[in-house]
């Protein structure tokens, strides 16, 4: 069934969404399934491509982890030549985690289509794209990105809504995949396979009773700093977090789709003051069902120490120098691409416009030459900065 025939909130859409969510969570344990997930996601969202990737601010490097729908030759051309010229790279972090944005939300649509990467897409019939930030840290972001072909039209409310429906599940799967290093796991041997991971892992039933805990999970209970075992139930020492944990495990028992955006990242405060986060993976559907049945568990909960929140280099520069998105694009273009003519071609704007933005950047940062900007940005990108 084509995505266009699935009406908003219809039974067919709900059924298709439920199946897709199940595949997403299966891919959290078996990364070989991501290609199939992306193909299904593109059909659901009515897009020509679907991609999961990341961008490293420090090394200015894009990494497309999984992709579907591209012509192989054109995709290689994209990697070799055009990806580094993408004007959205410097502003992709602007949206909050979970926000669905189109190309035209991040910069003027006409400018994007006139940019080098927009010109790469035109012969292939690509007319628009959208992205959602799945995870963000001080040094990198992870994205789910799609491209629309001219036969599908530009990004519309239907695409935004459906990407919004998928985003929390994709995010949960990506975060869990990071914890377990995306090693392929046989669902039937879930507990044994995960016993050696550094994060605490608990298999829980619908009442949050502990069916199994790995070594780190058992030590967390023994320390009684973050968790306790109350008659066999996993209980957080933080009462609010404990209720959130119980709610999310109960929801997991009702199926994948019920989780939605709830409990993607459950913040946990230990008595010692340390901060942790928990992520729950439902075990009641898909390839994970066998593991859940083997242990009478409805959810696997992963717990790790939380990283301290901090600004990305881009955010720090914008915050300190009050740069606009257009000024940031030009500044990063000068640093990454070169002189004014090359930046103008890459960004799809005129040379006078580049010079105007560049002068404002000079005024705001106190730099006098393009070489000064290169040094300035390099200082912010250094792992030792700030």
Contact indicator for 88, 103 with CB cutoff of 8 Å: yes
The CATH number of the domain where 167 resides is what? 3.30.450.80
29 found inside a domain: yes
15 found inside a domain: yes
Tens of pLDDT, residues 230-253: 999 999 999 988 998 888 888 877
Tens of pLDDT, residues 159-171: 999 999 999 999 9
Q: How far from 253 is each of 4, 243, 256, 280, CA to CA, in Å?
A: 31, 16, 8, 11
14 found inside a domain: yes
Rounded average pLDDT over 108-134: 95
Looking at the structure of the chain, the number of domains it has is: 3
Indicate the residue among 179, 203, 219 that finishes a domain.
179
pLDDT of amino acid 186: 52
295 found inside a domain: yes
223 found inside a domain: yes
As a dihedral over the C-alpha atoms of residue 142, residue 146, residue 147, residue 148, rounded to 10 degrees, the angle is -150
Indicate the residue among 146, 179, 212 that finishes a domain.
179
Q: Is the pLDDT of residue 260 over 70?
A: no
- 319 and 256 within one domain: no
- 225 and 134 within one domain: no
Q: What is the extent of the structural domain holding 43?
A: 3-179
The CATH number of the domain where 334 resides is what? 1.10.10.10
- 157 and 34 within one domain: yes
Rounded average pLDDT over 13-28: 89
pLDDT of amino acid 310: 66
97 found inside a domain: yes
- 143 and 67 within one domain: yes
pLDDT of amino acid 286: 67
- 14 and 124 within one domain: yes
Q: Is the pLDDT of residue 47 over 80?
A: yes
pLDDT-wise least confident of 24-28, 151-155, 192-196, 210-214: 192-196
Indicate the residue among 144, 179, 214 that finishes a domain.
179
* Residue 196: band (very low, low, confident or very high) from pLDDT cuts 50, 70, 90: low
Q: Is the pLDDT of residue 195 over 80?
A: no
* Residue 90: band (very low, low, confident or very high) from pLDDT cuts 50, 70, 90: confident
Contact indicator for 90, 79 with CB cutoff of 8 Å: no
- 345 and 204 within one domain: no
Q: Considering the chain, what is the average pLDDT of its residues?
A: 85
Q: Is the pLDDT of residue 91 over 50?
A: yes
**Max CA pair span of the chain:** 71
DSSP SS3 for 301: strand
Tens of pLDDT, residues 312-328: 778 888 889 999 999 99
386 found inside a domain: no
- 203 and 150 within one domain: no
102: enclosing H helix or E strand: strand 100-102
* Residue 309: band (very low, low, confident or very high) from pLDDT cuts 50, 70, 90: low
- 171 and 85 within one domain: yes
* Residue 292: band (very low, low, confident or very high) from pLDDT cuts 50, 70, 90: very low
DSSP 151-215: TT-S--HHHHHHHHHHHHHHHHHHHHHHHTTT----GGGHHHHHTTSSSEEEEE-TT-BEEEE-H
State how far the Cα of 249 lies from the Cα of 206, in Å rounded to an integer: 6
* Residue 130: band (very low, low, confident or very high) from pLDDT cuts 50, 70, 90: very high
- 167 and 195 within one domain: no
State how far the Cα of 368 lies from the Cα of 132, in Å rounded to an integer: 36
Half-sphere exposure of 95 (CA within 13 A, CB side): 24
pLDDT-wise least confident of 94-103, 113-122, 148-157: 94-103
- 101 and 238 within one domain: no
203 found inside a domain: yes
- 236 and 163 within one domain: no
pLDDT of amino acid 263: 58
- 192 and 46 within one domain: no
State how far the Cα of 147 lies from the Cα of 49, in Å rounded to an integer: 5
């Amino acid at each position: 069934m084509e995505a266009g025939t699935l009406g908003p909130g219809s039974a067919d859409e709900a059924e298709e969404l439920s199946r897709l969510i199940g595949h997403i969570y299966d891919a959290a344990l078996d990364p070989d399934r991501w290609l199939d997930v992306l193909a299904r996601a593109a059909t659901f969202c009515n897009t020509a491509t679907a991609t999961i990737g990341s961008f490293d601010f420090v090394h200015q490097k894009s990494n497309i982890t999984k992709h579907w729908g591209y012509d192989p030759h054109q995709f290689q051309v994209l990697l070799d030549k055009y990806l580094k010229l993408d004007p959205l790279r410097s502003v992709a972090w602007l949206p909050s985690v979970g926000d669905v944005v189109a190309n035209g939300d991040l910069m003027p649509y006409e400018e994007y289509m006139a940019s080098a990467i927009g010109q790469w897409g035109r012969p292939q019939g690509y007319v628009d794209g959208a992205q959602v930030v799945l995870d963000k840290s001080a040094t990198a972001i992870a994205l789910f990105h799609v491209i629309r072909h001219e036969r599908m039209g530009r990004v519309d409310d239907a695409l935004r809504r459906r990407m919004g429906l998928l985003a929390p599940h994709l995010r949960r799967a990506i975060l869990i995949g990071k914890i377990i290093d995306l090693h392929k796991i046989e669902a039937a041997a879930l507990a044994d396979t995960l016993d050696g991971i550094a994060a605490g892992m608990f298999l829980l039933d619908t009442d949050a009773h502990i069916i199994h805990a790995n070594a780190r999970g058992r030590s967390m209970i023994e320390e009684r700093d973050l968790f306790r075992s109350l008659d066999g139930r996993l209980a957080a020492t933080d009462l609010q977090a404990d209720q959130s944990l119980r709610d999310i495990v109960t929801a997991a028992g009702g199926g994948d789709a019920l989780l939605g955006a709830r409990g993607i990242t459950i913040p946990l405060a230990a008595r010692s003051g340390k901060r942790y986060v928990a992520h729950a993976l439902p075990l009641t559907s898909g390839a994970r069902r066998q593991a859940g049945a083997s242990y009478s568990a409805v959810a696997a909960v992963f717990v790790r120490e939380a990283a301290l929140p901090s600004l990305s280099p881009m955010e720090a520069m914008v915050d300190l120098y009050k740069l606009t998105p257009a000024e940031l694009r030009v500044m990063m273009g000068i640093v990454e691409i070169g002189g004014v003519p090359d930046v103008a071609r890459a960004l799809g704007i005129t040379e006078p416009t580049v010079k105007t933005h560049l002068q404002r950047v000079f005024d705001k940062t106190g730099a006098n030459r393009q070489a000064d900007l290169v040094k300035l940005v390099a200082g912010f990108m250094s792992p030792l900065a700030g």
